[in-house]
């Protein structure tokens, strides 16, 4: 132990660098593992704690009949059901974050007695008033609201003014990405609202609890099979079913992806630490060869010497690991905030001893393994060899860049010479710079696509990036309306683009319908093609794997009472609707329902604001239009939560990248200066200036830094999409086409390169303090 | 009339360590002449090497003036000193200090290319000098560790004189060599001095000291004795040896 502590004291800066690396790695690893392992149980605990429904089915009161209750009550595994009147607003509008969100809303009577999903307020005002409203917690964490703020709902031309009296916690309708949000009103306000809205907005919610909540998707699926006519995508009979497993997947997906990125980045930092340890062990054996000789000569065994080498790293890793874990608990509230923002639930941080233990043991195991492998040559060194300074390690095979023959600047040539003779060190820097550049590019590409150029990000949700959606009333002629809107000024294009639910080989699948897929801007088919003819269909790869059918196979599609067989022409991908999507042409859809004409028109605008266009259309065709939706605004609001989370990830990755580049170069250059002290002294003596030597040191790292940056850049350019695809594969993504913004990549590469050069120059400035005389005589 | 090449005035060098000060050089006034082969002798700790490194601009004096070929070194910054050294000073060290990872020729060129712009001429000159000191062509691509001590030190001398320095400084250049190697190295010093090269050499060794024409003896940081020994000549060696021995005996050596 004394030897180990002496070794640590001897190489203080290396020990400090390693300490920092391991602290960062342990912190990221612990946070990532805690989030990954705790997220699902956390959500499940919340479902139980809040007594939220395992299945919730909403419909307008006209569509409701007691058969639904009977089905749910008698369904095997259901332990409790409740039926409650609600106000159901399909596509209500309200402000959320910095923009207006259009979302479905389920408004409950807060004073109703219920045992499923009772009101649980996290915060509330002390006083009550007639226009109080209780909104999900995500309105506070993500939507920018606070208690007492006014809150306006715009629905079917009417405006409903409230003020926020409390934030409620719910697992099932608490965030914008679920598609429906849960509000609660005091009884008087609820009854007033219910009287005011049209009949189709007076709804019913059926809630069920099950013995095994994992059975909830099956229950919902069986419900839609049993009552197929209820989920027909018709605006007059709006039905929405949610099960807790789907909601859990949607709510935890982004969080789990972020946690996976953190663990992956932790793995990179661990790799860097292991490389640093290898470098450090190798250096300390070479530098301490005399000491090893003395120790061996006085009777220390190789095992004792090895133990002292390993022990110093175990001491560092244990202390740094503990510091990292402590730090992870300091930072967890920050991640807890992100989790609350993405899930709408209050994150309760727990002390997870097992994960902490796993994190430290994993790090210690890897460090001991690498240290042993690097230090094993100590066993082969004889005392006499060690006392003589070890076996000669210089290679005399090649004098790289002989000055006599090579052209070019002397200092550049000397720098390149020193680059070429430090192969091990160069490999280490190359790997580290490549890995860091790749990580930095990965995070920047992710952020660029989520925050800046959102096209590809939106595409993976299967959203068609039009500007405005016009929802036509069922009694209006959609075709005429489409042609009329096309003629309006500033309208570039209009497509009919419906989303309905059909059954494909007995699986309930969300299916798009349009006239001609080539006219859409977002083609989600990655293999094969979208359907062209009436007997063709494309299905997502998740559906494909569920029904075990692929391109060239035929599938049976059921809609209402009709069934037809279709040829699968392509495989698609989508994060939306859990990746269970398909696509039919309008002609194909009409094979199932000859009167089908669709209701959703997607309008692409140029030179007019979405709001102005929506006002214009509403004024012109008010009686034929059910709703209009600002798609851009909606996308902006819904991607806001991802932007913040991805920005945090990018910030962490870039900060750590800078820190690691600085530390690695500091460590390596300091070691270089110590090892080559006499050489630099001689060079100073024969007339080299400090600046020339600093430049030589810095330039000697440039080739390997350049190679690392270029390799990282190339890997980032070609492998960011495959890596993200892999990360998002659980969510339904098979092949990702995120924009790889070359200027961003170049900027990152140049920034890392410049950073490395500046850091090298700054660190090598320590040569200035040492006189030629001092260098030689020290 | 022989020109003074280095002149010091009240040269002091003090080292501080742990709160105590050690005055190594005390108000030294010294003049070194162009073309001389000056030997600096003295017991351990007398300040020989400190004086050598101060005179050569390798270290800054604590006080006093050093006039080197009309330039006041005491006023130079470290980088100005570096530029001055590359043009006007050559160094030969006891531990030789060739650059381990460079070939013999590259070791010489590393110094030469700092000053010379004509690479072809320089390479030619380096090769000639190497030949002159007895390093044949088959050794030019070797690394320092592949040379004998004497060979390595002769390469060190070539590296030191490649830029035609005004003064060649040598700090116990034969201290780490065996007798045969010492002789070959000393012959090189004598040879280049005969051709006009000014040399200042620190040594403990009588045989080495005999190569000089002037011997300065330092004691406790001051000049204790200054002997004009006359130019080295094999014929008069015995006479010079007796003179030197007598001088050193007087100095209490």
Helix (H, G, I), strand (E, B) or coil at A209: strand
Average pLDDT over residues A366-370: 89
Count chain A–chain B contacts defined by CB atoms under 8 A: 97
How many angstroms away from the CA of B35 is the closest CA of chain A?
Answer: 21
DSSP state of A352: -
Out of B91, B101, B145, closest to residue A421 by CB: B101
User: pLDDT tens digit string along A628-651?
Assistant: 888 888 787 777 777 877 888 889
More confident residue, B163 or A306: B163
Residue A470 has pLDDT above 60, yes or no: yes
Distance (Å, whole) CA A673 – CA A671:
5
Interface of B with A in 159-218 (CB under 8 A): 159-160, 163
In contact, A481 and A621? CB cutoff 8 Å: yes
Which of A636, A561, A540 shows the shortest CA–CA distance to A95? A636
In chain A, which residues have their Cβ closer than 8 Å to the Cβ of B85?
685-687, 772
Distance (Å, whole) CA A657 – CA B14:
46
Q: Is A768 on the interface with B (CB under 8 A)?
A: yes
Highest-pLDDT range among A171-180, A220-229, A660-669, A729-738? A660-669
- Under the banding of pLDDT at 50, 70 and 90, the label for residue A774 is low
Which of A325, A324, A318, A309 shows the shortest CA–CA distance to A361? A318
pLDDT at residue A230 in the model: 47
Tell me the Cα Rg of chain A: 32
Distance (Å, whole) CA A274 – CA A280:
10
- Under the banding of pLDDT at 50, 70 and 90, the label for residue A7 is low
The percent of residues in chain A predicted with pLDDT above 90, rounded, is: 30
Average pLDDT over residues A357-361: 90
Helix (H, G, I), strand (E, B) or coil at A368: helix
What residues contact A290, with CB distance under 8 A and at least 6 apart? A386, A387, A389
pLDDT at residue A228 in the model: 63
Out of B91, B105, B145, closest to residue A686 by CB: B91
Distance (Å, whole) CA A318 – CA A312:
10
pLDDT at residue A233 in the model: 45
User: pLDDT tens digit string along A407-422?
Assistant: 888 888 888 888 887 7
Residues forming beta bridges with residue A511, ordered by sequence position: A500, A582
- Under the banding of pLDDT at 50, 70 and 90, the label for residue A3 is low
Q: Domains in chain B and their CATH numbers?
A: 39-49+84-251 (3.40.50.300)
CB contact under 8 A, B106 and A691: no
Six token digits for residue A48:
């139980």
Which of A606, A612, A601 shows the shortest CA–CA distance to A492? A606
Q: Is A423 on the interface with B (CB under 8 A)?
A: no
User: pLDDT tens digit string along A414-462?
Assistant: 888 888 877 778 888 899 899 999 999 999 998 998 888 888 887 777 7
What is the distance between the terminal CA atoms of chain A, rounded to a whole angstrom? 30
Residue A231 has pLDDT above 50, yes or no: no
Phi-psi region of A549 (alpha: psi -120 to 50; beta: other; left: phi over 0): beta
What residues contact A75, with CB distance under 8 A and at least 6 apart? A208, A219, A222
In chain B, which residues have their Cβ closer than 8 Å to the Cβ of A768?
78
What residues contact B190, with CB distance under 8 A and at least 6 apart? B37, B211, B232
Residue A778 has pLDDT above 60, yes or no: no
Residue A32 has pLDDT above 70, yes or no: yes
Distance (Å, whole) CA A482 – CA A493:
9
pLDDT at residue B245 in the model: 93
Residue A733 has pLDDT above 80, yes or no: no
User: pLDDT tens digit string along A71-125?
Assistant: 999 999 999 999 999 999 877 888 888 777 778 899 999 998 888 989 899 888 8
- Under the banding of pLDDT at 50, 70 and 90, the label for residue A672 is confident
- Under the banding of pLDDT at 50, 70 and 90, the label for residue A350 is confident
In contact, A645 and A258? CB cutoff 8 Å: yes
Which of B5, B2, B3, B37 shows the shortest CA–CA distance to B194? B37
Residue A589 has pLDDT above 90, yes or no: yes
In contact, B202 and B180? CB cutoff 8 Å: no
- Under the banding of pLDDT at 50, 70 and 90, the label for residue A388 is low
pLDDT at residue A151 in the model: 93
In this structure, of A383-397, A472-486, B213-227, the range with the lowest mean pLDDT score is A383-397
In chain A, which residues have their Cβ closer than 8 Å to the Cβ of B83?
687, 689
pLDDT at residue B140 in the model: 92
User: pLDDT tens digit string along B115-145?
Assistant: 888 889 999 999 999 998 889 999 999 999 8
CB contact under 8 A, A396 and B143: yes
Residue A234 has pLDDT above 50, yes or no: no
Residue A1 has pLDDT above 70, yes or no: no
In chain B, which residues have their Cβ closer than 8 Å to the Cβ of A681?
97
Distance (Å, whole) CA B77 – CA B90:
19
- Under the banding of pLDDT at 50, 70 and 90, the label for residue A251 is confident
Q: What is the mean pLDDT of chain A?
A: 85
Highest-pLDDT range among A266-275, A473-482, A711-720? A711-720
How many angstroms away from the CA of A777 is the closest CA of chain B?
Answer: 10
User: pLDDT tens digit string along B11-56?
Assistant: 999 988 777 888 889 999 999 999 999 999 999 889 998 999 899 8
In chain B, which residues have their Cβ closer than 8 Å to the Cβ of A396?
142-143, 145-146
In this structure, of A189-198, A359-368, A731-740, B218-227, the range with the lowest mean pLDDT score is A731-740
Interface of B with A in 74-93 (CB under 8 A): 78-79, 82-87, 89-91, 93
Average pLDDT over residues A693-703: 90
Domain boundaries, chain A: 55-246, 411-456+635-778, 474-598
CA dihedral A100, A102, A108, A109 (to 10 degrees): 40
Q: Is B12 on the interface with A (CB under 8 A)?
A: no
Residue A773 has pLDDT above 50, yes or no: yes
Residues in chain B, how many? 253
pLDDT at residue A236 in the model: 40
Q: What is the mean pLDDT of chain B?
A: 90
Instruction: Please name the CATH architecture into which domain A474-598 falls.
Output: Beta Barrel (2.40)
Residue A398 has pLDDT above 80, yes or no: no
CB contact under 8 A, B91 and A768: no
Q: What are phi and psi of A49, to 5 degrees?
A: -60, -40
CB contact under 8 A, B53 and A679: no
Which residue in the block uniquely carries the two structure tokens 């049993």? A226
DSSP state of B236: T
Q: What are phi and psi of B98, to 5 degrees?
A: -75, 155
């Amino acid at each position: 132990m004394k030897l180990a502590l002496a070794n640590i004291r001897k190489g203080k800066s290396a020990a400090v660098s390693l300490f920092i690396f391991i602290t960062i790695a342990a912190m990221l690893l612990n946070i990532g593992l805690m989030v990954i392992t705790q997220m699902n149980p956390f959500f499940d605990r919340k479902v139980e704690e809040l007594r939220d429904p395992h299945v919730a089915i909403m419909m307008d009161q006209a569509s409701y009949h007691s058969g639904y209750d009977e089905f749910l009550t008698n369904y095997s595994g259901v332990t409790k059901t409740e039926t409650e009147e609600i106000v159901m607003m399909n596509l209500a509008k309200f402000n959320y974050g910095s923009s207006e969100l259009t979302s479905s809303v389920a408004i409950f009577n807060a004073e109703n007695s219920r045992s499923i999903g009772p009101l649980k307020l996290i915060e509330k005002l002390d006083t009550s008033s007639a226009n109080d409203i209780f909104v999900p917690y995500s309105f506070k964490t993500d939507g920018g609201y606070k208690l007492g703020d006014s809150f306006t709902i715009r629905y079917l031309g009417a405006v409903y003014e409230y003020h926020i009296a409390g934030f409620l916690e719910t697992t099932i309708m608490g965030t914008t990405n679920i598609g429906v949000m849960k509000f609660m009103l005091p009884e008087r306000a609820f009854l007033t609202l219910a009287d005011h809205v049209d009949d189709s907005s007076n709804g019913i919610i059926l809630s069920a609890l099950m013995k095994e909540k994992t059975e909830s998707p099956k229950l919902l699926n069986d419900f839609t099979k049993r009552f197929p006519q209820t989920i027909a995508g018709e605006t007059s009979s709006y039905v929405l079913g949610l099960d807790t497993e789907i909601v859990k997947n949607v709510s935890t997906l982004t969080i789990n992806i972020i946690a996976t990125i953190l663990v992956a980045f932790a793995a990179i930092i661990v790799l860097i630490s292991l490389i640093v340890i290898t470098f450090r062990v190798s250096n300390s054996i070479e530098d301490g060869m005399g000491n090893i000789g003395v120790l061996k000569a006085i009777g220390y065994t190789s095992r004792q010497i090895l133990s002292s080498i390993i022990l110093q790293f175990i001491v560092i890793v244990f202390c740094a690991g503990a510091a990292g874990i402590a730090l992870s608990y300091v930072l967890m509230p920050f991640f807890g905030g992100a989790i609350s923002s993405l899930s709408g639930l209050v994150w309760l941080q727990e002390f997870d001893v097992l994960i902490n233990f796993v994190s430290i043991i994993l790090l210690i195991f890897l460090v001991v393994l690498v240290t042993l492998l690097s230090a094993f040559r100590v066993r082969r060194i004889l005392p006499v060899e060690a006392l003589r300074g070890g076996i000669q390690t210089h290679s005399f095979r090649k004098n790289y860049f002989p000055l006599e023959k090579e052209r070019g600047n002397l200092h550049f040539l000397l720098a390149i010479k020193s680059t070429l003779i430090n192969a091990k060190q160069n490999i280490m820097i190359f790997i580290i710079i490549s890995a860091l550049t790749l990580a930095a590019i990965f995070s920047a590409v992710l952020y660029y696509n989520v925050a800046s150029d959102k096209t590809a990000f939106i595409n993976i949700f299967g959203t068609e990036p039009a500007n405005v959606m016009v929802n036509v009333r069922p009694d209006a002629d959609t075709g005429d309306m489409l042609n009329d809107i096309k003629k309006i000024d500033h309208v570039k294009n209009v497509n009919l683009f419906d989303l309905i639910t059909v059954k494909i080989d007995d699986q309930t699948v969300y299916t798009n319908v349009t006239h001609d897929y080539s006219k859409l801007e977002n083609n989600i088919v990655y293999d094969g093609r979208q359907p062209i003819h009436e007997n063709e269909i494309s299905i997502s790869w998740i559906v494909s794997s569920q029904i075990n059918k692929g391109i060239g196979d035929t599938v049976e599609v059921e809609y209402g009472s009709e069934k037809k067989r279709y040829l699968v022409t392509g495989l698609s991908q989508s994060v939306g609707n859990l990746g269970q999507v398909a696509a039919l042409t309008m002609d194909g859809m009409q094979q199932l329902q000859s009167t089908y004409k669709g209701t959703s028109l997607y309008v692409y605008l140029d030179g007019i604001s979405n709001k102005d266009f929506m006002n214009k259309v509403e004024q012109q065709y008010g009686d034929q239009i059910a709703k209009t939706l600002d798609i851009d605004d909606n996308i902006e609001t819904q991607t806001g939560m991802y932007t913040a989370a991805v920005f945090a990830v990018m910030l962490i990755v870039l900060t750590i990248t800078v820190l690691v580049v600085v530390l690695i170069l500091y460590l390596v250059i300091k070691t270089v200066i110590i090892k080559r002290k006499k050489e630099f002294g001689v060079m100073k003596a024969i007339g080299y200036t400090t600046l020339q030597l600093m430049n030589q040191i810095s330039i000697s790292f440039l080739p390997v830094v350049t190679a690392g940056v270029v390799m990282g850049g190339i890997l980032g350019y070609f492998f960011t999409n495959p890596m993200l695809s892999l990360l998002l594969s659980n969510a339904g993504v098979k092949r990702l086409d995120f924009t790889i913004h070359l200027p961003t990549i170049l900027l990152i590469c140049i920034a890392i390169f410049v950073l490395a050069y500046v850091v090298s120059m700054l660190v090598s400035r320590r040569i200035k303090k040492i006189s030629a005389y001092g260098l030689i005589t020290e | 009339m022989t020109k003074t090449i280095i002149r010091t005035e009240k040269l002091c060098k003090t080292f501080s360590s742990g709160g105590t000060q050690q005055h190594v050089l005390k108000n030294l006034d010294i003049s070194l002449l162009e073309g001389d082969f000056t030997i600096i002798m003295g017991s351990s700790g007398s300040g020989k090497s400190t004086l050598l490194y101060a005179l050569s601009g390798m270290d800054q004096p604590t006080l006093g003036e050093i006039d080197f070929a009309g330039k006041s070194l005491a006023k130079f910054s470290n980088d100005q000193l570096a530029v001055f050294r590359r043009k006007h000073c050559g160094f030969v060290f006891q531990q030789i200090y060739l650059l381990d990872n460079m070939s013999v020729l590259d070791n010489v060129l590393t110094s030469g290319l700092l000053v010379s712009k004509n690479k072809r001429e320089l390479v030619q000159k380096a090769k000639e000098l190497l030949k002159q000191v007895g390093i044949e062509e088959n050794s030019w691509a070797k690394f320092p560790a592949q040379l004998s001590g004497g060979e390595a030190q002769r390469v060190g001398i070539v590296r030191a004189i490649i830029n035609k320095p005004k003064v060649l400084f040598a700090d116990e250049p034969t201290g780490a060599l065996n007798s045969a190697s010492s002789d070959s190295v000393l012959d090189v010093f004598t040879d280049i001095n005969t051709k006009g090269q000014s040399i200042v050499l620190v040594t403990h060794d009588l045989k080495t000291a005999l190569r000089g024409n002037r011997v300065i003896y330092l004691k406790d940081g001051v000049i204790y004795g200054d002997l004009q020994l006359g130019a080295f000549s094999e014929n008069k060696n015995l006479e010079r040896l007796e003179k030197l021995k007598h001088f050193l005996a007087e100095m209490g050596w």
